[in-house]
């Protein structure tokens, strides 16, 4: 009985394997780029719609809004047909108007580091009150049940119905910087009553608002006319 001969599998040339790998890589890359191009406009549209809704939440009484772009020390309305996403270095704010067309205030985006990740918010500034009149958390990954109370706790949200951000006589700095105090000890309109057990998240909100208002209030306060003249 003759021995059976074991046949070795045929060798695949290296260049064929390389060609296959390159082809798969190019196909995957093409698919990723295609998905990105298809979904980016949808994501931008959804974000714009969510932001528009948030403007009405942080500016009580607003029935319509308009986007403004900062040009030097002035604010001009965003042209019709312009991109919903700000360009590099472009600064935008969102003016809200009541049913009669009167200016309610301006909504501003701000962000800062929280306990777990970056917190992004939109807050409303009322010219008449010289105060923050509303706040909406846009993005947060704070600890469920504790840190996420910055979004859900009604008592904490009350801090932002009339949080004083008025300027001093120079018009260049806050009369009283925003201050986060232990829960139950708030005595002044520029103070934020912290959430028990979520002090870090509370201070994060106070910190990002303090930084943002220190920058924006001296710019916005004297430019009220820019937003009223556009109506």
Note whether 108 and 123 are within 8 A (CB).
yes
**pLDDT tens digit string along 71-119?**
998 999 998 767 767 777 889 999 999 999 999 999 999 999 988 889 9
CA 29, distance to chain mean position in Å, is 30
Note whether 142 and 120 are within 8 A (CB).
no
Q: How far is the C-alpha of 28 from the C-alpha of 221, rounded, in Å?
A: 51
Q: Give the pairing of strands 92-97 and 131-139.
A: unpaired
**pLDDT tens digit string along 10-49?**
665 776 777 777 778 777 777 787 665 665 555 455 566 7
- What's the confidence (pLDDT) of residue 117? 87
Q: Quick one: residue 215, left, alpha or beta (phi over 0 = left, psi -120 to 50 = alpha)?
A: alpha
Percent of the chain with pLDDT over 70: 84
Confidence of residue 199 (pLDDT cuts 50, 70, 90): confident
Both tokens of residue 123? 């807050």
């Amino acid at each position: 009985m003759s021995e059976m001969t074991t046949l070795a599998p045929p060798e695949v040339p290296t260049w064929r394997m390389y060609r296959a790998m390159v082809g798969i890589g190019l196909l995957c890359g093409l698919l990723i780029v295609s998905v990105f191009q298809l979904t980016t406009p949808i994501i931008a549209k959804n974000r714009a719609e969510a932001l528009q809704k948030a403007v009405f939440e942080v500016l009580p009484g607003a029935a319509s809004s308009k986007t403004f772009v900062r040009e030097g020390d002035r604010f001009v309305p965003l042209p019709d047909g312009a991109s919903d996403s700000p360009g590099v270095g472009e600064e935008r704010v969102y003016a809200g108007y009541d049913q009669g067309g009167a200016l309610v205030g301006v909504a501003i985006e701000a962000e800062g580091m929280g306990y777990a990740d970056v917190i992004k918010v939109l807050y409303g500034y009322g010219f008449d009150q010289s105060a923050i009149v509303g706040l909406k958390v846009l993005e947060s990954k704070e600890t469920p049940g504790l840190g996420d109370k910055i979004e859900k706790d009604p008592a904490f949200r009350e801090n932002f119905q009339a949080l004083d951000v008025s300027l001093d006589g120079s018009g260049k700095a806050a009369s009283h910087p925003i201050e986060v105090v232990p829960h139950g000890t708030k005595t002044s309109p520029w103070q934020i009553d912290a959430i028990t057990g979520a002090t870090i998240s509370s201070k994060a909100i106070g910190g990002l608002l303090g930084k943002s208002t220190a920058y924006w209030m001296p710019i916005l306060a004297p430019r009220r006319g820019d937003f009223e003249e556009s109506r």
